[in-house]
């Protein structure tokens, strides 16, 4: 692989995300997401294995369906309002379709099925890219339209993501699948609070990205892909193994670690909104 092709691929990923984040027009946001998706496909398929090819196909199909749903939603809205502006999303049906397409893009329940499979078929560096950078654009779009989406939809998807993310990771021995379910769980918290305090949702996803990045980088450094590998690294690199363990506890939101802070603030916000039952479910 030449340096020029690597540069083009990473420029595509970066420009695609920035284009989506900075656009006020649905068409430009869609183009940004498409550019981003097409640029990451060569990275996922780089290892010449059947697993990687399968992961690339699964990623492409789910993202293409989500993009089609997004285009359908914005087109229906344009028919109703005559406006491509992101903030002018007024049609209830198109808002619901848009919310579902963005959930599919970021891998939140109930359309999460592709994420663990894709992550399992890629390298650790690519898994890091999918769980962090690839979430930025859809989360930004959801942030922009959060006041238009019905809270019931966001809360239902959020609670479902929390349950699936929590239960799905229990019986896993593969670290990449565990991190995928951790991502689904964290998105659950982000989506639930998006309905009531979008800024808090952004803080939560940023904290998650900051905590997940070193976990993947350390796993790459130690070439650990399963829990069994991780348990044997204690003899070679005690500091790194301890760091991964503490970071994982932090990601799961255990006090007194950093990861507990956004979860505590989210629970506090839910209780102050008189949603005590929801807060109890989240715990």
Mean pLDDT of 36-51: 94
pLDDT tens digits for range 245-262: 999 999 998 988 999 999
Select the more confidently predicted residue: 90 or 97: 97
Other Cβ atoms closer than 10 A to 274: 8
Q: Can you give the three-state secondary structure of the chain, one letter per residue?
A: CCHHHHHHHHHHHHHHHHHHHHCCEHHHHHHHHHHHHHHHHHHHCCCCCHHHHHHHHHHHHHHHHHHHHHHHHHHHHHHHHCCCEHHHCCCHHHHHHHHHHHHHHHCCCCCCCHHHHHHHCCCHHHHHHHHCHHHHHHHHHHHHHCCCCCHHHHHHHHHHHHHHHHHHCCCCCEHHHHHHHHHHHHHHHHHHHHCCCHHHHHHHHHHHHHHHHHHHHHHHHHCCCEHHHHHHCCCCCHHHHHHHHHHHHHHCCCCCCCCHHHHHHHHHHHHHCCCHHHHHHHC
Read off the pLDDT band of 275 (50, 70, 90): confident
The token pair that represents 114 in the structure block: 């592709």
Domain count, the chain: 1
Contact, 133 vs 213, CB < 8 A? no
Other Cβ atoms closer than 10 A to 189: 25
pLDDT tens digits for range 150-189: 999 999 999 999 999 999 999 899 999 999 999 999 999 9
Read off the pLDDT band of 1 (50, 70, 90): low
Mean pLDDT of 53-61: 97
Mean pLDDT of 13-20: 96
As a whole-number percent, the residues of the chain with pLDDT over 70 amount to 98
Tell me, what's the pLDDT at 283?
63
The token pair that represents 232 in the structure block: 């044997």
Geometric angle at alpha carbon 186, from 191 and 109, rounded to 5°: 60
Mean pLDDT of the chain: 92
pLDDT tens digits for range 58-94: 999 999 999 999 999 999 999 998 889 999 888 899 9
Tell me, what's the pLDDT at 66?
97
Tell me, what's the pLDDT at 232?
84
Look at residue 56 and tell me whether its pLDDT is greater than 80.
Answer: yes
Tell me, what's the pLDDT at 75?
94
Mean pLDDT of 187-199: 94
pLDDT tens digits for range 197-225: 999 999 999 999 999 999 999 999 998 89
Kindly tell me the sign of the dihedral angle through the C-alpha atoms of 161, 162, 166, 169: positive
Domain limits at 39? 3-282
Q: From 133, 160, 149, 30, select the one nearest 84 (Cα to Cα).
A: 30
Tell me, what's the pLDDT at 227?
87
Contact, 115 vs 184, CB < 8 A? yes
Tell me, what's the pLDDT at 205?
96
Mean pLDDT of 14-41: 95
Tell me, what's the pLDDT at 85?
93
């Amino acid at each position: 692989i030449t340096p020029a092709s690597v540069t083009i691929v990473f420029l595509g990923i970066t420009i695609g995300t920035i284009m989506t984040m900075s656009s006020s027009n649905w068409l430009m946001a869609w183009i940004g997401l498409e550019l981003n998706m097409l640029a990451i496909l060569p990275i996922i398929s780089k290892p010449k294995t059947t697993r990687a090819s399968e992961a690339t196909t699964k990623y492409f199909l789910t993202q293409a369906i989500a993009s089609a749903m997004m285009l359908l939603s914005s087109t229906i809205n344009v028919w109703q309002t005559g406006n491509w502006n992101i903030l002018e999303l007024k049609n209830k049906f198109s808002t619901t379709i848009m919310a579902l397409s963005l959930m599919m893009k970021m891998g939140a329940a109930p359309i999460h099925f592709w994420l663990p499979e894709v992550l399992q078929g890629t390298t650790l560096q690519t898994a890091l890219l999918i769980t962090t950078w690839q979430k930025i654009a859809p989360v930004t779009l959801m942030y922009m339209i959060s006041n238009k989406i019905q809270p019931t939809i966001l809360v239902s998807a959020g609670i479902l993501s929390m349950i699936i993310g929590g239960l799905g990771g229990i019986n896993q021995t593969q670290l990449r699948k565990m991190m995928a379910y951790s991502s689904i769980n964290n998105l659950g918290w982000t989506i639930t609070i998006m309905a009531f305090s979008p800024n808090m949702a952004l803080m939560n996803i940023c904290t998650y990205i900051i905590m997940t990045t070193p976990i993947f980088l350390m796993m790459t450094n130690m070439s650990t892909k399963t829990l069994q590998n991780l348990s044997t690294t204690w003899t070679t690199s005690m500091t790194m193994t301890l760091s991964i363990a503490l970071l994982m506890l932090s990601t799961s939101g255990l006090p007194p670690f950093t990861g507990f802070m956004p979860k505590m603030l989210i629970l506090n916000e839910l209780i102050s909104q008189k949603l005590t039952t929801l807060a109890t479910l989240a715990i």
